[in-house]
Chain A
Amino acid sequence: KQEVTQIPAALSVPEGENLVLNCSFTDSAIYNLQWFRQDPGKGLTSLLLIQSSQREQTSGRLNASLDKSSGRSTLYIAASQPGDSATYLCAAAGYQKVTFGTGTKLQVIP
Chain B
Amino acid sequence: GAVVSQHPSRVICKSGTSVKIECRSLDFQATTMFWYRQFPKQSLMLMATSNEGSKATYEQGVEKDKFLINHASLTLSTLTVTSAHPEDSSFYICSANPHHGRQRTNYGYTFGSGTRLTVV
Contact = CB atoms under 8 A, between A and B. Distances in A.
B49 interface: yes
Nearest to A99: B46
B7 to A, nearest CB: 12
B43 interface: yes
Contacts of B36: 100
In which size bucket is the chain A interface? 20 to 34
Interface stretch (A12-20, A45-53, A74-82): A45-53
Given A43-B114, A98-B34, A34 B108 contact: yes
Is the contact region of chain A dominated by helix, strand, or loop, or is it mixed?
A: strand
B85 interface: no
Contacts of A36: 111
Interface string B95-115: 100000000111111111110
A59 interface: no
Contacts, number: 52
Contacts of B112: 43
Given A43-B111, A43-B113, A44-B111, A32 B43 contact: no
A36 B49 CA distance: 20
A42 interface: yes
A93 interface: yes
B33 interface: no
Contacts of A93: 104, 108-109
A95 to B, nearest CB: 9
B105 A32 contact: yes
B105 A46 contact: no
B42, B45, B107, B109: most-surrounded residue (chain A CB, <10 A): B109
Nearest to A4: B43
Given A43-B112, A43-B113, A46-B110, A100 B105 contact: no
Contacts of A103: 43
Contacts of A98: 34, 46, 95, 109
Interface of B: 6, 34, 36, 42-46, 49, 91, 93, 95, 104-114, 116
3 residue pairs, one from A and one from B, having the closest CB atoms? A43-B113, A49-B108, A43-B114
